[in-house]
Amino acid sequence: MCFDTDALPPITPISGAAIHHDDLVLTAADGAEFAAFEARAEHHPRSGVVVLPDVRGLFRFYEELGLRFAERGVDAVVIDYFGRTAGISKRTDDWEYMPHVELVTQEGLEADVVAAIHRLRSGREPMSLFTVGFCFGGSNSWHQAANGLGLAGAVGFYGNPSRPDRPKGAPPVVARVGEMRGAILGLMGGDDPGIPQADVDAYREALDAAGVKNEIVVYEGAPHSFFDRKQDDYAADSADAWERVLAFIEANG
């Protein structure tokens, strides 16, 4: 589990910000329906983000994160991964997500991201688009940069650049750097046993060698999912990571 069920994003809401939000059901090109959450800035933004959650899919934490983006003038659509296998209804905190994670395919996930992109573009002036993902969603955010979707950039919080077949059928992210378009931001925990520093370094080196604009930040002593935890121990790292995400969107939008 990447965060406690009652955890909230470590970002202070902007009091009085004018935004609109709604639960959605989107339809991918293959006809599959999936749940999503939309948060829109009141005024026409220059940028929009598709938020890719951790392994549990669409959860309150990520809905709140979508609102924080919209408060800062960035439209957001948060997607769920499991419409094809678990339906579109709300789920309890203790639902068994891992059997469904194992069934997420590279093709299905890309189709869902495309549907979210279409939603972001609907009724809006042209905008720069990004993906922002966490854990399972972090590496999958980077995968989208290699899928020819016209993204301006892809942000991954503690995504694994070296693990294959997650989602099913996907090579490791590091093997796809030659296909990537747009900029890459990686926000990694320095004390994450599941993602060795050597793998992070190899990813940065591969991006550099392929000429992909990138910024890979490692927070010394921070664990996996440092941004998603309730503890105050990583408040400074989380605040810095959030500011880097906003600056990355501004610089590449």
Domain of residue 128, CATH code: 3.40.50.1820
pLDDT band per the 50, 70, 90 thresholds, residue 43: confident
- 90 domain residue, yes or no: yes
Counting the structural domains of the chain, the total is 1
- 13 located within any domain: no
With respect to residue 63, please indicate whether it lies within any of the assigned structural domains.
Answer: yes
Q: What is the pLDDT of residues 58-116, one digit of tens each?
A: 999 999 999 999 999 999 999 999 999 999 998 988 899 999 999 999 999 999 999 99
Query: Which DSSP helix (H) or strand (E) runs through 76?
Result: strand 75-79
| Residue 219 covered by a domain | yes
Judge whether 4 lies within some domain: no
Q: What residues make up the domain containing 230? A: 19-252
| Residue 93 domain flag | yes
Position 8 in a domain: no
For the question of whether the overall pTM of this predicted structure is more than 0.75, the answer is: yes
**pLDDT tens across 168-208, in order?**
999 999 999 999 999 999 999 999 999 999 999 999 999 99
